[in-house]
Amino acid sequence: MKSEEIECCHTRESGYPLLLKICLFLKSLKSKRGFPIETLGNDKKAKVQPVIARKRKALTWQSSRCFCAFVLLLFFMFSCSSNNSDIEIKDLDDSAPVYGDAFIIASLSDASFLNPILASDTSSSMVLDKLFNGLVKYDKDLNLTGDLAESFEVSKDGLEIIFKLRKNVKWHDGVPFTAKDVRFTYEVLIDPNVKTPYSSNFTIIKDFQIIDDYTVKILYDKPFAPNLERWGMQIIPKHIFEGQDINTAAANRKPVGTGPYKFKSWQTDQKIVLEANPDYFEGRPYIDRYIIRIVPDQAVQFLELRKQSLDAVALTPDQWYAYDSFFKFYNKFRQPVFAFTYLGFNMKRKPFDDKNFRQAMQLAINKKDIIDGVLLGTGKEAIGPYPPQSWAFNPNIAESEYNLQKAAAMLKELGFEDIDNDGWLEYLGKKFEFTITTNQGNKQRELTAQIVQQQLKKIGIKANIRIIEFSTFVNQYIAKREFDAVIMGWSLSFDPDQFLLWHSSQTAPREYNFLSYNNPRVDRLYEKARAVFDVETRKKMYYEIQEIMAEDLPCIFLYYPDSMQAVHKRFKGIEPAPIGIMYNFIEWWVPKSQQRYFFSDR
């Protein structure tokens, strides 16, 4: 980290030297800052040196001697004291939450936009979640609760929602948040000129009414089951974006939100730095900085745990099972997540548009090899678009069959044949091969692609592999439909409405159905399922969708992954819950004696 962002570097692995602990102890007795510490670089071994940075006049020689003598006296007292004395100092310093320190997390790729209307990638979301708020959110037990809305009321027929907004919310530039911002966000979402994948959730609104500055009423033409959840969409500021082209606005890189952290800087492909929002309506976060470093390789991220230059890392399965010594300073957390990884085909191209070809490909892929060889047992075989923990999951769908002979026979019926006996199949008289593309840095997807490649070779299908940096992958290949096949993953909403992923109307460049899946029966079921509120009725429709997809194969569902994370042990206040561990990040804190980073603006 450069010195303008972090004013203190790493301490020794064993913690603060005793003399520094004494300085911290003296600091706790006074409100004034004593001896800040500055860093002399990031990758090189950190050098810690005292910096006298006082606005007051310098200490006189005599007072300096007295102060040093006092510190040395304390040094000898503490170094000769009993263990009980050490415990007393620790208790004094660590007993209650305190402000300070930074949280440094790694991302495999840079964000695309810091605008929730436009962004659809995980790298952007991990930043936006700290900058913006929606009207509602999920609590730790997966129940919808208010966020920017202090309360809400849904009519019995589901056609009307009234949101009462919080009155103590300000944008990061100090402008008050009001109902006008909510209406503006709605208007942007339904603007056909705005390249957002979320418009279909809001074009079904019949009327949007502002009752007063802190009350809005939303009317729907017909019932929309996920209506309340969809207002988790993060709200953008009217006074920042009004009159601008949302797609190219400067605020897409310098955002102004309402969230617990404020934007500070963005160095492309290096890092994004956020700082604690002192005016956050739920209270100022204890951690001073939230820093996202771009480290486009999971192996490199893991190595950085050894020198503690990252505070949190998403672990691969082999890293999860690494020796305990690797995690001397870290706690590990693992849980199933609402997500699936898949092999998807561009159904605008032949022969991928033929479900029989897709069925043959699935017959040739042994998913158990992927679960055992790539996930090392940390995930489950996927049988459809809903993970087992979803109430919409259909347990009656059988796991896919692995049968090379059957796969070969199906391909022969489609016109595939090894004409020249070289071991590779021809199709329509030409050598057939296709390319599987996935994103750089995700080792699980790369290894999965290699296993698929080897398995398809057994039936004479030549599959090439292309690894692309994530933002290029999304913007140049996915958005423009310039691919044969992809290995990707979807993080899912807790509500099972997947209209955006599979409905044939959602195939525009920035929309989510980039595989171009088109099944009228699935379309109708998704339309009907989102128009009823009864869970059991919806469940029957989602069950039927999964039965259709098991045969029609919009993609080859590969596996449901587990989330595995390592977080530095100095962070307190972490409480794992069904939703994960990050839901209460504003309550995380680090004891003064363990803080590693200090900032000159505090």
Indicate the SS3 state at residue 414. Answer: coil
Q: Is the dihedral of CA 292, 297, 300, 305 positive or negative?
A: positive
**Every domain of the chain and the residues it spans:** 18-101, 133-249, 254-335+564-594, 339-560
Do the domains spanning 133-249 and 339-560 agree at the CATH topology level? no
Residues of the chain short of pLDDT 50, as ranges, are: 1-92
Q: Which amino acid is at 379?
A: G
- d(C-alpha 137, C-alpha 234), whole Å: 10
- d(C-alpha 581, C-alpha 584), whole Å: 7
Backbone φ and ψ of 568, nearest 5°: -55, 140
CB proximity list for 193: less than 8 A, separation 6 or greater = 247
Backbone φ and ψ of 81, nearest 5°: -80, 170
- d(C-alpha 515, C-alpha 352), whole Å: 10
Residues in the chain: 602
Residue 95 burial by Cβ neighbours in a 10 Å radius (0-12, 13-18, 19+): exposed
- d(C-alpha 311, C-alpha 289), whole Å: 12
The answer to whether residues 329 and 311 touch, using CB atoms and an 8 Å cutoff, is no
Q: Put residue 601 in one of left, alpha, beta given phi > 0 → left and psi -120 to 50 → alpha.
A: alpha
The reported pTM is 0.78
Backbone φ and ψ of 326, nearest 5°: -65, -25
At 366 the pLDDT is: 97
CB proximity list for 65: less than 8 A, separation 6 or greater = none
Per the prediction, the chain carries an average pLDDT of 86
Q: What DSSP assignment string belongs to 14-80? A: T-S-HHHHHHHHHHHH-SS----EE-S-SSSPP--EE----SSPPPPHHHHHHHHHHHHHHHHHHHT
- d(C-alpha 438, C-alpha 475), whole Å: 13
**Topology at the third CATH level for domain 254-335+564-594:** D-Maltodextrin-Binding Protein; domain 2 (3.40.190)
- d(C-alpha 528, C-alpha 544), whole Å: 12
Q: Put residue 361 in one of left, alpha, beta given phi > 0 → left and psi -120 to 50 → alpha.
A: alpha
Q: Is the dihedral of CA 294, 299, 300, 303 positive or negative?
A: positive
Pairing of β 339-345 and β 556-560: antiparallel
- d(C-alpha 522, C-alpha 524), whole Å: 5
Q: How far apart are the first and last CA of the chain?
A: 18
Structure tokens at 18: 């005793």
At 127 the pLDDT is: 97
- d(C-alpha 374, C-alpha 268), whole Å: 31
The answer to whether residues 550 and 384 touch, using CB atoms and an 8 Å cutoff, is yes
Q: Nearest 5°: CA angle at 313, between 311 and 315?
A: 150
Structure tokens at 65: 């001697």
Q: Is the dihedral of CA 433, 437, 440, 442 positive or negative?
A: negative
CATH superfamily of 339-560: Dipeptide-binding Protein; Domain 3 (3.10.105.10)
Q: How far lies 501's CA from each of 287, 497, 504, in Å? A: 36, 9, 9
Q: Which amino acid is at 506?
A: Q
CATH of domain 133-249: 3.90.76.10
Q: Which amino acid is at 130?
A: K
At 602 the pLDDT is: 60
Which residue, 266, 312, 304, is CA-closest to 287? 312
At 94 the pLDDT is: 66
